[in-house]
Structure 1
Amino acid sequence: MEQRDILDVIGVGIGPFNLGLAALLEKTECTYKCFEQKPTFDWHPGMLLEGTTLQVPFMADLVTMVDPASPYSFLNYLHEHERLYQFYFFERFHIPRHEYNHYCQWVANSLKGLQFSSEVKTITLHTEGDTYYEVTVQQGEADKTYYSRHVVMGVGTQPIIPKDFQRMYSDQLYHSAHYKMKREQTLQARSITVVGSGQSAAEIVYDLLQQQSERKYELSWYTRSKGFYPMEYSKLGLEHFSPDYTHYFYHLEQEKKEQALKNQALLYKGISFKTISDIYDLLYERTIGGQKTPIKIQALTELTNIERKEDSHVLTLYQYEQGIYEKAVSDMVIMATGYQNTIPSFLEGMKPYLQLADHGQLEIDEQYKVKTSVEGASLFIQNGEIHTHGVGAPDLGLGAYRNAAIINQIAGKEVYTLYKRNVFQQFGF
């Protein structure tokens, strides 16, 4: 019989969460490999704009919240780059987004178990005798098969454009995720429209406002939301991004979970106070002496239709409180319409074993394990469990905690200590 080299764990995708998994696995004797189809680590490259920062403190790095002495901490990154004193005098908790990306690249370059330009095509289950996963990976022109007792999926979310407008996708109508790559072309337009009211939309609007005096384009900003509201950033509000709240949320009934998520949008979908302030201050300065407001900003307005006309777009906008439709023309349309989770195509071979909820999403246990009919081989998920674990699923500050919980299960012992009490408030009885 063929002797197979069976790893302890394979990570699919190398974003911050699986990168953190790999960094924390270095402290164990577990064997691992992580695969990523991109050629290098690059975190949201389309939104790495100058002046933008993380929306979480620097302690939400890959490892610190469970292993502050790790050589892969952000503070050690600063030490290795001779920047500790500069950061000390920088006096900010929220670091530049570009620096966070560079920090992650530094960690990625330090780990030997990562393989880029490697796309996972299929995952199937071997059940004859020992139970383990067979993972087929396309590397260059060839496919190679790897074997592992556990798999951790960290493939992230995908940019979403409303279904009615997907056919219109082009260099002139695109998702905010690609803004930086298309920025120079966008700045040459005569008119630009941004759709959405989250942080990405606001950062793009602020960047466009800064260039508008020189470029002379018309600028519009619409959202169907009730307003351009700030993200909840009070200290007790932030405690929702804690293991304690995750535990509380997990044990709610599904109907209660769905209702809670609807009411918590501003915990993770709003705009930072600073970005709102920067936009407002710039508008105030630009309108001194009776100058015309350089942008049209309107909430409560849904984009209902787009028609292509020569080298521009005709937008149909509906102000739903007034019940009024209006047409607008725009050369460029930037859709800051968010991201969504999908069940990856490489799980097709696992369908007979997966447990799905009524809404078609994966069933996930409290310890981040996808519920299956399989014994002895676990399938874990990163940032695909907001429907079961709540608003903390995509939050960088909970990434290390989730990885520690996963690693403790893979290692079969407590490698990382996880506290039972992390916040001041109680979420239930």
Structure 2
Amino acid sequence: MNKPDKIYDIIGVGIGPFNLGLAALLDQTPELEGLFLDENPEFQWHAGMLIDGTTMQVPFLADLVTMADPKSPYTFLQYLQEQDRLYAFYFYEKFHIPRQEYNDYCRWTAAKLPSCRFGHRVVNVTYSGEQGFYEIKVQNNDNHTIEYYHTRHFAMGIGTKPTVPKSAEALSAGKMCHSADYLRNKEKILEKNTITVIGSGQSAAEVFLDLLIEKPEHGYQLQWYTRSPGFFPMEYSKLGLEHFSPEYTSYFYHLDSKTKDKLLKQQSLLYKGISMDTIAAIYDQLYEQSIGNTSQGALLQAQTEMTSVEETEAGSILLELEEVHLQEKLTVETDQLILATGYEQASPSFLEGIEHFLQRDEKGLLQIDEQYSVRQTNEQNHVFVQNGEMHTHGVGAPDLGLGAHRNAIIINQLAGREVYPVRRKNVFQQFGWQRSS
């Protein structure tokens, strides 16, 4: 292990919204010094899904810092002020901002933070128990050199990766794409005669809507299949939203693992449904394109599962579909397959160097304590997890509105004091019996 010239208090691996928020809050904490590394050349948040007209599904207050520090110089409102857009936003009168603007806001923040370094890929992490620090081995993508950094703690914010069904993995790249790469492939997709979207939720709906809007000009056939019971809206009632709160996170954390697994399956519409606005926009397009009883060339069918995929010699794709309840099968031919089949937690290879310290459950998932640190035999130097703890902390793990709260908890641990207040009372309803403190 290399002799360190400098030891950081924390190094963040991956610069998505959560680690970027941690960097922004740390910037206002003078006794702590952090470094944040990302292999990509610049910040981009779901670039393949920054479709025109799409908005965030959380209010603008769920920015990088506001829910922990409204006075921070990195709030969304401060971004608007510096962009000379504060009055424009005032007259805009919307709580949910364009997704492209959220991405621009994050890029603005990243550019202001010297602790954020892009083009740096973490290769390995090792631990020196005697000296009490982690060594982070990094490849600098700009000059192709290996660099070493040292830190007392580190935070994983590597995010998720697109999930592709095994049956579709062998398809040619030009015939299939995940919704995460939709915009990168859109120009070629529009040239196809038949386009099929598979999946449920907001991503599938946004891709379908975008293609539906383009369809009159390009004349393709468009179809959307999902195994979900229907094209149902996401739960967005005010009391329902209180499940994305510190109180519910704490309640969920103290449940046993079987109950947690059961609850997560029951709560899918809290985070997997479609926004009411998107459903309405799709319906409006379908209605307008059917005026005069014209053939709209669009098909939507729920309760239908894709069971197999095959590419023909002629270059088309054969999909075998099964109606879930009737168990009837049908083969459908298409020229383009778009898979809005969700994401799964990335499993970083750089953890191999400290894997023997880390504790996992019977499913191989990291055991994470209530303070967002991986349980391990090394108790002095933390490995924090950003958006990888749904199995332990519940549906709020990927929610942007809880990102600043989680980062406040992490920073308070690093500083050994309450840098950012963590409120005990945030919602009106009570989850479970009140525990005596």
Q: Shorter-chain TM-score: which interval?
A: over 0.9
How do 1:162-177 and structure 2 match up within 5 A? 162-168=165-171, 170-177=173-180
Q: Using the alignment, how far apart are the partners of 1:323 and 1:302 within structure 2?
A: 10
Kindly state the Cα deviation for residue 292 of structure 1 after the two structures are TM-superposed.
2.1
Larger deviation: 67-76 or 156-165? 156-165
How do 1:205-220 and structure 2 match up within 5 A? 205-220=208-223
Aligned length in residues: 428
Kindly state the Cα deviation for residue 358 of structure 1 after the two structures are TM-superposed.
0.6
Aligned to 1:70: 72
Q: Using the alignment, how far apart are the partners of 1:347 and 1:294 within structure 2?
A: 49
Kindly state the Cα deviation for residue 2 of structure 1 after the two structures are TM-superposed.
4.3
Aligned-residue sequence identity (percent) comes to 54
**Which letter maps to 1:216?**
G
Aligned to 2:251: 248
SS at match of 1:108: helix
- Answer yes or no: is the 8 Å Cα contact 2:228–2:303 preserved in 1: yes
- Answer yes or no: is the 8 Å Cα contact 1:286–1:294 preserved in 2: no
How do 1:3-14 and structure 2 match up within 5 A? 4-14=5-15
Q: Using the alignment, how far apart are the partners of 2:15 and 2:299 within structure 1?
A: 39
Q: Using the alignment, how far apart are the partners of 1:185 and 1:3 within structure 2?
A: 50
- Answer yes or no: is the 8 Å Cα contact 1:11–1:18 preserved in 2: yes
Aligned to 2:320: 316
**Which letter maps to 2:179?**
S
Counterpart of 1:51 (choices 44, 47, 53) is 53
Structure 2 residue runs without a partner (length 5+) = none
Alignment of 1:268 with 2:271, yes or no, is yes
Aligned to 1:38: 40
**Which letter maps to 1:366?**
E
Q: Using the alignment, how far apart are the partners of 1:18 and 1:2 within structure 2?
A: 27
Kindly state the Cα deviation for residue 420 of structure 1 after the two structures are TM-superposed.
0.3
Kindly state the Cα deviation for residue 167 of structure 1 after the two structures are TM-superposed.
2.0
SS at match of 2:169: helix
CA RMSD of aligned residues (A): 1.0
SS at match of 1:235: coil
Larger deviation: 108-117 or 285-294? 285-294
**Which letter maps to 2:10?**
V
Alignment of 1:361 with 2:365, yes or no, is yes
SS at match of 1:149: strand
Counterpart of 1:195 (choices 195, 198, 201) is 198
Q: Using the alignment, how far apart are the partners of 1:41 and 1:171 within structure 2?
A: 26
Deviations 1:378-418 (A, max 9, x none): 11000000000000000000000000000100111110001
State TM-score, norm by structure 1: 0.98
Q: Using the alignment, how far apart are the partners of 2:96 and 2:370 within structure 1?
A: 30
Q: Using the alignment, how far apart are the partners of 1:112 and 1:202 within structure 2?
A: 38
How do 1:14-413 and structure 2 match up within 5 A? 14-28=15-29, 29-128=31-130, 130-140=131-141, 141-168=144-171, 170-309=173-312, 310-413=314-417
SS at match of 1:371: coil
Q: Using the alignment, how far apart are the partners of 1:321 and 1:343 within structure 2?
A: 35
Superposed structure 1 runs of 4+ greater than 6 Å apart: none
- Answer yes or no: is the 8 Å Cα contact 1:283–1:294 preserved in 2: no
- Answer yes or no: is the 8 Å Cα contact 1:35–1:115 preserved in 2: yes
Q: Using the alignment, how far apart are the partners of 1:276 and 1:296 within structure 2?
A: 15
Deviations 1:154-199 (A, max 9, x none): 0001100112221225121110000000000000001000001110
Larger deviation: 343-352 or 104-113? 343-352
SS at match of 2:243: coil
SS at match of 1:328: strand
- Answer yes or no: is the 8 Å Cα contact 1:312–1:330 preserved in 2: yes
- Answer yes or no: is the 8 Å Cα contact 2:220–2:297 preserved in 1: no
Q: Using the alignment, how far apart are the partners of 2:73 and 2:362 within structure 1?
A: 43
